[in-house]
C-alpha cells in the first residue's frame, strides 16, 4: 500500500482513538447532513474553480502517483542508445523510438532521428517540459483548493446549525447543548477533510510532479548529450543528478 494512503488511514484512526479515549460517544460525530454539506459543498466549489479537463487530469495524476509504475532505468536506456548510435549511427535509433512508451523520451529520440539541430531540440523539449510541469502542479492545486474550501464550508454548516438551535431555545439546556454540539460537527468535518485527506493528497501530487520533472530533465540532457556525440561517461554525468535515488 502507498505511504500516502497508509498515512491518511493512520491519521483518521488516530482521531477516532482520541475520541474514544476522551470518552465521547462516537455516534455523536456521525452526522449525515454535515457530511453531505462538506462533501457536496467542497466538491461543487472545486468543480466551479477548474475546467472538466483539469479535474480529469488531477484525478488521473492522483491515480498514477498512488499506483505509479517502476521508474525508467534511464541510464541503461541511454547507454543502449549510445552503443547503437556509435555502431550504426543516429538514424538507427528510429526503430527504437517507435517502440518507446514514454512520450517525452520518444519525442526527444525522434527529434534526433529527424536531424534537428541542437538548439531546436533544446527549445522543443524544454517547452514541452515546462508545459507538463504546469499541468502537473495544477493537479496538486485542485486538491489544495478543495482543502481551502472545506473548512470554510464547515463554518457555514456550523452557522446553519446554530441558527436552527437559536430558533428552538424552548427545548431546555440539555437539548440546547446537544444542538450546539451537533452544529460544530460541520466545522470538525471541514477541518478534518482538509488536513487529513485533501492536503496530504495535494502534497503527494507535488512530490510526484517533482519526480516527473526530474525524469524529464534527465531525458532532456541525455538526448542533447546523445545528439552531440558525447562519450559514455559524460552522458552518465549529464543525467545522473536527476535520477531518482
Residue whose C-alpha is closest to residue 19's, from 29, 6, 8: 29
Q: How many domains are contained in the chain? A: 1
Q: Domain for residue 58, yes or no?
A: yes
Question: Which positions ≥6 away from 5 have C-beta within 8 Å?
Answer: 66
DSSP state of 23: T
Q: Domain for residue 125, yes or no?
A: yes
pTM value is 0.86
Residue 229: predicted pLDDT: 86
Q: Domain for residue 11, yes or no?
A: no
DSSP state of 167: T
Residue 175: predicted pLDDT: 61
Burial of residue 72, with CB atoms counted within 10 A of its CB: 0-12 exposed, 13-18 middle, 19 or more buried: middle
Q: In whole angstroms, what is the distance from residue 187 CA to residue 124 CA?
A: 48
Q: Domain for residue 226, yes or no?
A: yes
CA 167 vs. chain centroid, Å, equals 44
Is the per-residue pLDDT at 161 higher than 90?
Answer: no
Residue numbers of the domain that contains 160: 32-64+85-242
Q: Domain for residue 217, yes or no?
A: yes
Is the per-residue pLDDT at 129 higher than 80?
Answer: yes
Residue 115 backbone zone (phi > 0: left; psi -120 to 50: alpha; other: beta):
left
Amino acid at each position: 500500500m502507498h505511504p500516502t494512503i497508509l498515512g491518511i488511514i493512520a491519521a483518521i484512526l488516530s482521531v477516532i482513538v482520541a475520541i474514544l479515549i476522551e470518552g465521547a460517544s462516537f455516534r455523536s460525530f456521525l452526522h449525515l447532513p454535515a457530511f453531505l454539506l462538506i462533501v457536496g459543498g467542497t466538491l461543487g466549489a472545486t468543480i466551479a474553480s477548474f475546467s472538466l479537463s483539469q479535474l480529469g487530469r488531477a484525478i488521473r495524476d492522483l491515480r498514477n502517483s498512488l499506483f505509479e509504475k517502476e521508474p525508467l532505468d534511464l541510464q541503461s536506456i541511454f547507454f543502449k542508445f549510445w552503443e547503437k548510435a556509435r555502431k550504426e549511427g543516429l538514424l538507427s535509433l528510429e526503430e527504437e523510438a517507435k517502440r518507446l512508451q514514454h512520450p517525452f523520451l520518444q519525442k526527444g529520440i525522434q527529434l534526433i532521428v529527424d536531424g534537428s539541430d541542437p538548439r531546436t531540440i533544446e527549445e522543443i523539449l524544454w517547452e514541452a517540459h515546462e508545459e507538463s510541469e504546469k499541468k502537473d502542479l495544477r493537479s496538486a492545486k485542485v486538491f489544495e483548493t478543495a482543502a481551502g474550501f472545506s473548512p470554510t464550508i464547515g463554518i457555514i454548516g456550523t452557522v446553519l446549525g446554530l441558527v436552527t438551535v437559536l430558533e428552538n431555545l424552548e427545548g431546555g439546556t440539555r437539548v440546547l447543548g446537544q444542538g450546539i454540539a451537533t452544529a460544530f460537527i460541520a466545522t470538525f468535518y471541514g477541518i478534518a477533510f482538509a488536513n487529513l485527506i485533501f492536503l496530504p493528497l495535494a502534497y503527494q501530487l507535488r512530490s510526484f510532479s517533482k519526480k516527473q520533472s526530474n525524469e524529464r530533465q534527465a531525458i532532456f540532457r541525455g538526448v542533447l548529450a546523445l545528439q552531440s556525440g558525447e562519450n559514455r561517461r559524460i552522458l552518465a554525468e549529464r543525467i545522473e543528478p536527476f535520477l531518482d535515488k
